[in-house]
Amino acid sequence: MIKRNLVLPIVVLAAVTGAVAQMAQKQTPPKARYFMDVSTTSGMMGGDMNPMAMLMGGTPKPRREVLLRLGSVLPPADGAPKADHFMPASMRLGASVPLDTPVRTPVERSLPQNFERPKGRLLIFWGCGPKAGAGQPVVIDFAKVAAGQFPPGLFSSNVPVENGPMQNNSRTFGEWPNERNRARTKSDSSLVGEHRIAGNYSPEIKFALDQDFMPGMQAQTQQMSGGAVALNWNQVMGATGYYAWLFGAKNMDSQGADMVWWTSAGRQEFGSGLWDWLSPGTVSRLITQNVVMPPTQTTCTIPAEVKQAAGEFMMASLYAYGPERNFAYPPRPANPKTPWIVEWTAKARFRSSTSVMVGMEEQMGRSGRRGRDDGDNSGNQPARPCRPSLGGLLGGRAC
């Protein structure tokens, strides 16, 4: 009797599985892929104002930046690779910007003659709260890592990294900004409108953006009783989630100094994708896994143990992940039996970020600085987003 009752469900399951397999639509890889990484940066790592003007009480504006990348499986139709991105007039960059192919240069992989194994330790903390959770910090001895001894299970692939088109995964590649054109977007530049990419190694790409640069972030810190530090920020329109990390150190100039790395993730999760652009779907999943903070959250407490271990030098960075726009041509056929022969795909990813020197407000107050730091500090040159790595930390650098 039991076997008979099992027959019908198994038959139905097999039939459904076969029908789904027959309905799976065949899809060809695109001839060309286009990525627009759109960022709004403020704080110590970005902002349109000279640092001296900031110290005099000025209010810098968030910096708007776009990184354009075109990758194709096709060779140039004639001569050298050539492509241009024609933008809306509201971008104020002229009719178009060139997507130049960078010159490949060999990479030296040998160690310098005076190479010395790094000394010191890296103390890793995570989670928002007045006190660090159990099992913290995880301690990494730099000398042991250099000798090949690395704590197992520390890093995971739970957070995907979507690199998009790059020179090493494309037959022909172009990018902007480049050596020929480093024009800067303005504080009032706008991406909304029609976009067209035309060149001799890619089908013509055309799409319209309805999403503009995200608003700038403002972050402040405040010392709390018990040694913890409150990190606060403004709610950013369009944000899908937030993530913060902090780097600190005592006696950075001395060999063997302890360096500190803290993240706002509610668990031991250090996927490198957290320092990049994340799709709304990925952010939503990471919120449920207590890795990314929800878009309604605007404060996170840095544990007292982090402050105690890092001392006076602590630089915090905060990311607001944003929306994403995806385009493809031709559109997917409605009939699943019709193969989808893709000519091109295009993706626009949006993010806002800021950085703040922890305790700067108090130091500025003690020095009698006029005005208030709203987190939008700057330098004169464009600043690429800070992306920490274990290799950089081993070399004594946060980024």
Residue 239: closest CA among 197, 185, 283, 274: 283
Give residues with Cβ within 8 angstroms of 332, minimum separation 6: 25, 340
- DSSP, collapsed to helix, strand or coil, labels residue 22 as helix
- Using the predicted structure, report yes or no on whether residue 23 has a pLDDT greater than 80: no
Is residue 4 one of the residues assigned to a domain?
no
Q: Of the spans 45-59, 132-146, 262-276, which averages the highest pLDDT?
A: 262-276
Dihedral angle computed from the Cα positions of residues 265, 271, 274 and 279, in that order, rounded to the nearest 10 degrees: -110
- Give the separation between CA 8 and CA 4, rounded to whole angstroms: 8
Is residue 56 one of the residues assigned to a domain?
yes
- For the chain, how many structural domains are there in total? 1
CA angle at 204 for the pair 184 and 183, rounded to the nearest 5°: 10
Tens digits of per-residue pLDDT, 107-138? 666 656 665 666 788 899 999 999 999 999 99
- Give the separation between CA 198 and CA 192, rounded to whole angstroms: 19
Is residue 10 one of the residues assigned to a domain?
no
- Give the separation between CA 206 and CA 202, rounded to whole angstroms: 12
Is residue 39 one of the residues assigned to a domain?
yes
**Region of poorest pLDDT, from 89-103, 178-192, 302-316, 366-380:** 366-380
- Give the separation between CA 172 and CA 185, rounded to whole angstroms: 26
Tens digits of per-residue pLDDT, 234-247? 999 999 999 999 99
Q: Of the spans 10-19, 39-48, 96-105, 115-124, which averages the highest pLDDT?
A: 96-105
Is residue 336 one of the residues assigned to a domain?
yes
* pLDDT for position 55: 53
* pLDDT for position 195: 98
Side chain identity at residue 143, one-letter code:
A
Is residue 170 one of the residues assigned to a domain?
yes
Dihedral angle computed from the Cα positions of residues 13, 15, 21 and 22, in that order, rounded to the nearest 10 degrees: -160
CA angle at 123 for the pair 360 and 146, rounded to the nearest 5°: 125
How deeply is 179 buried, as exposed, middle or buried, from its count of CB atoms within 10 A (0-12, 13-18, 19+)? exposed
Is residue 13 one of the residues assigned to a domain?
no
Q: Of the spans 85-89, 258-262, 388-392, which averages the highest pLDDT?
A: 85-89
Is residue 1 one of the residues assigned to a domain?
no
The domain in which residue 46 lies consists of: 26-101+117-394
CB 318 within 8 A of CB 298: no
Greatest extent of the chain over all pairs of C-alpha atoms, in Å:
87
For residues 132-155, average pLDDT: 76
| Higher pLDDT, residue 325 or 163 | 325
